[in-house]
Amino acid sequence: MNTHAPHREDGPTGHLVLLGSGPQAEWEHTMQRLTAVGPLLLINAETPTWQRPHVADTRTADLLAPPRVLDAVREFAVTRPIAGVLSFHPAHVRTAALLRQELALPGPSTATIEATTLRHRTARLLTEAGVDNSGSLHADSYEQALEAAHQVGFPLVCKPASPRTRYAARQVSGIPELAEALSEAAAATWPGTGTVIEPLLDGIEATAYTADSPSGPRVVAISHATFDPQAEPALVPAEVVVDADDVCGPAVEDLATRALSALGHRSGPAQIRMRITSTGPRVISVTTHLTDPLLCMLIEQVTGVDLISQAGCHARGRAFVVDESRLGAAAVRFLQSPGAPALLPPTAAVGSHITPYAALQQYPAEHRVGALRRSGHLLVSGTDYSQCIARLRSAAAEIRSARLSA
């Protein structure tokens, strides 16, 4: 059911091009919010199913082939106006940039896109500005990767310099693993962009989310992720928590603000991923768009900040007023495994409560997340980070017990 008002005919004119979508359980909230902003033209690699009630029109195209997407949008634009373009997947940034350039649509500057699309370029600009970061080193060959590995030391992370797929980063504990990790990263990067080598930082994983304010981008939420050991050596999130009163706030906010300034990002959504190490936070990556619709729903739940609607308005060149009402914390735990997904409790229905504080969302069909197969997720709320983690673990234990007794 649509829980948000449909777009008004007297609202922003023209269609918003949305590049791609995902599983209904993770994306429906986002589609509802964007539909409220204005009519959507969904460009998807697969024929839409559940998305149809939320969009004005659809086109099927390879999102990793920018010219083909441009042709599809141009054909649509002959009879109906285009107001903007929005993407969530990092691999679609180039396609979005081409549409904005050719159709004169609002969005990040070319300089900012170039500064954040290549990871080693991001690291260089941050270093020049005195912003602590992971220090990614570029590598086009095994010899260069080996030299970079000796500079950063083991363990390290080998990544695509400009990824075409999610979760393509690989942990490397020693030289024997480097060649395979490099091969996998090279296969997942845009042609000609190469790979990067960076140290595997210790500490707490954190991502800062920014929203527009009169004084520029402002951090409105912070999430913390833990990674699934089943996916190793890949880095795939298992649990993510958003706490309205995050204790890491001051240090994260300062670093995020300086990082965006160094990369020339002045307005619009952004995510700054970092590790809070023993010597302070260090930036890992920066994106000038939102990347995870489900987390945006959690952020809205605990902060009142509707990042999705702001992103939709910003993509159209319109302002959006952010209201805050901070309360508690929320978290998600993904139900995933490397083989066939474990059966969920036979009595569990979609949206059912496993415990008084944990709701289960099952997917009609599993979908790939890196090397894992995801079949659903658990959502919990609580007063703070610790309580959310405890409730996630309790709900997961209930599911395991139900499976064994089924």
- Flag whether pLDDT at 50 surpasses 80: yes
What is the mean predicted confidence (pLDDT) over 9-37? 87
- pLDDT at residue 326 in the model: 84
Q: Residues 357-385: pLDDT tens digits?
A: 899 998 888 889 988 999 999 999 999 99
% helix / strand / coil in the chain, to the nearest 5? 35, 30, 35
> Is residue 278 within 8 Å of residue 203, measured between CB atoms?
yes
Q: Hey, CA dihedral for 42, 48, 50, 56, is it positive or negative?
A: positive
N-term to C-term CA, the chain: 31
- As to burial, measured by CB atoms within 10 angstroms (0-12 exposed, 13-18 middle, 19+ buried), residue 204 is middle
The amino acid occupying position 199 is P
The amino acid occupying position 30 is T
> What is the number of other CB atoms lying within 10 angstroms of the CB of residue 35?
22
Q: Strand 15-19's sheet: what is its strand order?
A: 57-60, 40-44, 15-19, 82-87
Measured distance CA(230)–CA(235) in Å, rounded: 10
Place of tokens 């180039």: 94
Q: Are strands 15-19 and 82-87 parallel, antiparallel or unpaired?
A: parallel
- pLDDT at residue 343 in the model: 55
What is the mean predicted confidence (pLDDT) over 119-143? 97
Measured distance CA(293)–CA(1) in Å, rounded: 18
Q: Residues 247-294: pLDDT tens digits?
A: 888 989 999 999 999 999 998 899 999 999 999 999 999 999 999 999
> Is residue 177 within 8 Å of residue 220, measured between CB atoms?
no
pLDDT band for 339, please (50, 70, 90 cuts).
confident
The amino acid occupying position 245 is D
Q: Residues 283-336: pLDDT tens digits?
A: 999 999 999 999 999 999 999 999 999 999 999 998 887 778 888 999 999 999
Q: Residues 229-241: pLDDT tens digits?
A: 999 999 999 999 9
- Flag whether pLDDT at 348 surpasses 60: no
- Which secondary structure element, helix H or strand E, spans residue 211, and what is its range? strand 204-211
> Is residue 50 within 8 Å of residue 25, measured between CB atoms?
no
The strand pairing partners of 225, in sequence order, are 240
- Which secondary structure element, helix H or strand E, spans residue 386, and what is its range? helix 385-405
> Is residue 358 within 8 Å of residue 394, measured between CB atoms?
yes
User: HSE on the CB side for 309, CA within 13 Å?
Assistant: 21
- Rounded to 5 degrees, what are φ and ψ at 130? 75, 25
Measured distance CA(243)–CA(239) in Å, rounded: 13
> What is the number of other CB atoms lying within 10 angstroms of the CB of residue 241?
27
Q: Using omega within 30 degrees of 0 as the cis cutoff, is the peptide bond preceding 233 cis?
A: yes
**Of 214, 196, 166, residue with least CA distance to 26:** 166
- Rounded to 5 degrees, what are φ and ψ at 180? -65, -45
- pLDDT at residue 346 in the model: 54
